[in-house]
Amino acid sequence: MEASPWSVLIVDDEPPIRAELRYLLGRDARIGEIDEAGSGGEAVQKILASRPDVLFLDIQMPGTNGMRIAETLSGLKNPPLLVFVTAFNQFAADAFDLNAVDYVLKPVEEARLARTLDKLGVQLDARRSATREGVPMRLAVERGGKRLFIPVSDICYVEACADYTHAVTPNGTYLVCESISSLEERLAKEGFLRVHRSYLVNVDEVHDVVVSRPGLLELRLEHVDAAVPVSRRRVAAVKERLGL
């Protein structure tokens, strides 16, 4: 089966550099959709919204720099593969500490970029193979008097209900005979974050962050029409996890 093309996000504050890199990437048949961001904030929004396969990331940018963005990616269950593209070579050691696939100096040469794309290809193939072969975690739930098992990845958020919880999915809401504190511990490795004493959120589902009132946030989700509140004491942790 032919591999699907890679989606790419280029992050650089200089439009000519983004345009040149877009041109070079577009010449490779493995590359599919290419998007751009001119700042760290815009990059985080696009990563959350479109989940690119690969991120080509500048380091020195106004505001949030590339290293800071890379640090926040570890909070995602399936972060994009990372390539730093920069004019400075002194950050290379730190870049590989952040699990970057490669570190490319500007101006980018086509032959050098081809080697980077080959490295990306190996890692993307391995990641996709592991996804196909892996057994997703499933959660025991109840609905309509029937006991079911649903993939944890289908759950958009969890809401506390006394000593039990409700798991909300695009296909409806299920009862879970387990406390939210217990689920918080079990689902942390699956990409869920406690954002409120009554809510756990699947970080991969967060599509947008809205300021509801001064000092308060709401999380808008991808696959369900919901605005999940963030408690004041958890705002800092949520912002750090989402790279805001």
| pLDDT tens for the 244 residues of the chain, in order | 456 899 999 999 999 999 999 999 999 999 999 999 999 889 988 888 888 999 999 988 887 788 888 888 766 777 899 999 988 877 666 766 777 889 999 999 999 999 999 999 988 887 776 655 555 688 889 998 888 899 999 999 999 998 899 999 999 999 999 899 989 988 988 889 999 999 999 999 998 888 877 778 899 998 999 999 999 999 988 888 887 7
Task: Report the largest interatomic distance among the alpha carbons of the chain, rounded to a whole angstrom.
Answer: 63
- CA nearest 138: which of 180, 184, 181, 186? 186
- Residue 181 has, within 13 A of its CA and on its CB side, a CA count of 2
Measured at the CA of 4, the angle between CA 169 and CA 225, to 5 degrees, comes to 20
Question: Exposed, middle or buried by CB within 10 Å (0-12, 13-18, 19+), for 12?
Answer: buried
d(CA 241, CA 189): 14
Beta-strand ranges (E) seen in 24-128 are 31-37, 54-57, 81-86, 102-105
Adjacent-strand bridge partners of 206: 221
Count CB-CB contacts under 10 A for residue 39.
Answer: 16
Q: Which domains does the chain have, with CATH numbers?
A: 6-133 (3.40.50.2300), 138-242 (2.40.50.1020)
